A and B are shown apart, each in its own frame.
Chain A
């Protein structure tokens, strides 16, 4: 089975800190995604990547950036964390653009204080 691993289950950071959320997948998937999940809003797409060094903005990219230097790794970066970025962050991957579904990681619950 494809495994998507997020490096931290829980993180607490201070306002203004630079935060890195790491995601690694082990099955050579082309596409990787970052979502944030908030109660009553479901999952919203932040950024995605179809290939190494490629990135596309999702629905809510403001305040975030991403990096994909290797195919298996997709990092989400909060340049200057703010309290409104307190959320659950989910990484996902899919084999290709035509793939029916995604495989998700277990999520990182980020609290910014």
Chain B
């Protein structure tokens, strides 16, 4: 069965510094995707970045990068040069593609960026 683990309930980072949010996953499927979503206080889930299981390069989107280590089944999110607007909940999620499975989400990490 699919499972996502985020072991950091809360994180603090100083503005302009980089931060890594941890995510490990469990799946028996070979074809899957890993996602990170941001949820600010407004409540909307905002898609940040995607990594396919067959992608050899780590995904990057602006200040966001995904550190994908397939053998360790980890998909950590790295935010470079943190900004105050990065303060939010961050969710790691996975979809198995073989049977068109839906998302499974982790419990989330609350990031607070300090001025």
Contacts and interface: CB of A to CB of B under 8 A. Distances in A.
A102 B103 contact: yes
A5 B24 CA distance: 32
Interface of B: 4, 9, 33, 35, 37, 42-47, 50, 91, 93, 100, 102-103, 105-108
A40 B50 contact: no
Nearest to A40: B107
Nearest to B110: A39
Interface of A: 9, 33, 35, 40-45, 48, 58, 88, 90, 92, 97-98, 100-107, 109
A43 B9 contact: no
A107 B44 contact: yes
A106 B42 contact: yes
B6 to A, nearest CB: 8
Contacts of A105: 44
A42 B42 contact: no
Given A100-B50, A101-B35, A102-B103, A42 B108 contact: yes
Contact of B105 (A9, A42, A97, A107): A42
B45 A104 contact: yes
